[in-house]
Amino acid sequence: MNIKVFTGIVFLCLATVSAKSQQQDWKVDASVILEKISEPDFPDRIFKISSETVKENVADVINKKIDECSKAGGGKVVLASGEYFCEGPLILKDNVNLHLEKNTKLVFSQKPEDYLPVVLVRWEGTEAWNYSPFIYASDVENIAITGKGIIDGNGSAEESFREWRPLQKKDQNKLREMGKNGVPVNERVFGKGHFLRPQLIHLLNCKNILLEDITIKNGAFWLIQPTYCDNITVRGVKVDSRFINNDGVDIDSDTNVLIENCNFNTGDDFVAIKSGRDQDGWRVNKPSKNILIRNCVSENCLHGISFGSELSGGIENVICQNLTFKKVRSYGVQFKSNKDRGGYLKNVILDNIQIDTAETCISFTNQYHSYSGGNNPTAFENILIRNLKCNIAQEKAISMIGLPEMPIQNVKLENVTIQKSGELSVVDNVINMSFINVKY
C-alpha cells in the first residue's frame, strides 16, 4: 500500500484496521427504497402508428396520438416497426406509454427551429427557457417509454446540435450568472440565437415513470434527465452514445429511483447523480435521495458512477450494487464538488463494484474545477465502499482530497482490492476513516 498522508488527516494507514474509529450510526436499506417505487399502470387501449401510413411530420402525428390517448384516459401509443424521422419534439402526457416495437427506429432532426418554442428546462443545474428536448414532459404523471426500439438523437449527423458545444461558453456563463444573481426564471430565455444544446429525454416535475428496454444512441448532450421527479424505474435500457457530455442517466433532484439491468456505453458518466448548481440549486432546494442502482454493466465510459458536481440541493440515501465497468477512461467512482456548491452528500453505499481499468479507481474532491470564488464547501459524510475490485488504476488507486475547513468524514473501505496502480495514492483532510482488508 503506497499512500501519501498530508497534514490535517486523521487516518490509520494499515491494510486491515479495526472499524472502531468509525461508528456507523446511519443506514441505507435497499428494501426501504424499493417499497416507495412502483411502475405506472396503463389501460389496455392501443393507439398504433405505422411508418407506412404517415404522410406528414412524424412528430405531429405522434403528438396527436399522445394527446388522443391521454384524453381517452390513457393507454399505449405504439410505433410499429419501421423508421420515423421526427422534425420536432415529442411531448408526453398523463397516462401514456410510448412504445417502440422491435425494429423501430425513431430519429430526430437537427434543425434548431424544429425545437421551438422554448420550454422550461434545467440546464447543467440551472433553470432556463431553452430549445425543447427531443422527448419532453412537464408536470405529468404515469408515463413510460418502452419497447425494443431505438431512439436515435442523430448527433452523428454532419450538421448537429453537437457542433454547438464549442459555441456555448457565452450562453453557459450568462445562465450561470443569472442563477447566481437570482434573475427570475421567466427572464432566462435562450433558444433562437443561443447555443445551449437540448437534452434528448428530459422529464420535469413528473411522477410515476418507467423507461424499459429501449436503446438510445447518438445524443448531442445529456441523454436521460429526470428532474424534480418521483418514483422512477429505468430497467433494461441500453445506451450507446459516446460523444462528449453523453451521460447514461442524470438523476437530478429526484426521489425514489431504481436503475437496474442496464448497459450504458457513454462518452461521459455511466450515471451521474446531481441536484442543482450553486445559488439556483439552493433556491430550488430539492435533493436527490432514495436511489438504488444495481446489476448494470458498462463496457466503455469516461467515468463510472459519479456524484456531483452540481449537488447544491444535496444527495442522500444512495445504494449502488453489482456494477461492472470494463473500461473507464478516467474515474471509476467519483465524488466531486467545490466551494461554490454548498449542499451535502451523505449516506452512500457502494457494494460489489468490478472495474477492469480506470485512470483513478476511487476519487473524492471538494476542489473540483469551475470554482468561482465562493465560500460554501460541501459536506461529504457517511460513505461505505465495500467489495470493490479493480484490476488496473493507471494513475492513482485512491485520491481523497477534502478541505481543512470541511474535511470528508466517516468513510469506510472494506474488502477493496486494486491489483495495480501507477502513482502514489493521496488522502488529505479526511477524518474518521477506516480500512478493512484493503489492498493496493
Of all residues in the chain, the percent with pLDDT exceeding 90 is: 90
pLDDT tens sequence across 97-127: 999 999 999 999 999 999 999 999 999 999 9
> What's the chain's Rg over C-alpha atoms?
22
Using pLDDT thresholds of 50, 70 and 90, give the confidence band for residue 1. Answer: very low
* 145 belongs to a structural domain: yes
CA 146 to chain centre: 19
CATH classification at residue 105: 2.160.20.10
Q: What are the angstrom distances between the C-alpha of 7 and each of 1, 102, 397, 405?
A: 19, 59, 20, 13
Q: Is residue 276 part of a domain?
A: no
pLDDT of 363 higher than 60? yes
Q: Is the pLDDT at 17 greater than 60, yes or no?
A: no
- Written as one string, the DSSP assignment of 314-368 is -EEEEEEEEEEEEEESSEEEEEE--TTT--EEEEEEEEEEEEEEESEEEEEES--
Average pLDDT for 256-266 = 98
- Domain presence at residue 358: no
**In one letter, which amino acid is 357?**
T
Joined grid coordinates for residue 178: 443569472
pLDDT tens for each residue of 74-91:
999 999 999 999 999 999
Backbone torsions φ then ψ of 174, nearest 5 degrees: -60, -45
307-316 mean pLDDT:
97
282 lies in some domain: no
Work out the average pLDDT over 43-62. 93
Tell me if 209 is assigned to some domain.
yes
Residue 54's pLDDT band, with cuts at 50, 70 and 90, is confident
Q: What domain range includes position 157?
A: 38-246
Kindly tell me if the per-residue pLDDT of 6 is higher than 60: no
Instruction: Specify the higher pLDDT residue, 56 or 358.
Output: 358
Beta bridge partners of 300: 327
pLDDT digits (tens, 9 = 90+) for 414-436: 999 999 999 999 999 999 999 99
* DSSP bridge pairs for 431: 409
8 Å CB contact between 346 and 26: yes
pLDDT for 244 equals: 95
pLDDT > 60? residue 64: yes
Among 52-56, 194-198, 265-269, the range scoring the smallest mean pLDDT is 52-56
11 pLDDT exceeds 80?
Answer: no
Predicted local distance difference test score (pLDDT) of residue 368: 85
Q: Is residue 258 part of a domain?
A: no
Report the candidate in 152, 39, 33, 173 with the shortest Cα–Cα distance to residue 104: 152
What pLDDT does 24 receive?
56
Q: What is the dihedral of CA 293, 265, 301, 318, to 10 degrees?
A: -10
CA–CA separation, 347 vs 355, rounded Å? 22
Residues 139-166: what's their mean pLDDT? 96
The answer to whether residue 124 is domain-embedded is yes
Closest CA to 256 of 41, 96, 92, 32: 32
Among the listed residues 366, 382, 398, 397, the one whose alpha carbon sits nearest the alpha carbon of residue 432: 382
Q: Which residues pair with 187 in a beta bridge?
A: none
Provide the domain count of the chain. Answer: 1
Q: Where are the beta strands (DSSP E) in 275-314?
A: 288-301, 303-307
206 within domain boundaries: yes
Each residue's pLDDT tens digit, 250-260: 999 999 999 99
Q: Residues 6 or more apart from 45 whose CB is under 8 A from it?
A: 69, 72, 73, 74, 75, 76
C-alpha cell at 364: 473524492
pLDDT of residue 377: 95
**Is residue 20 over pLDDT 70?**
no
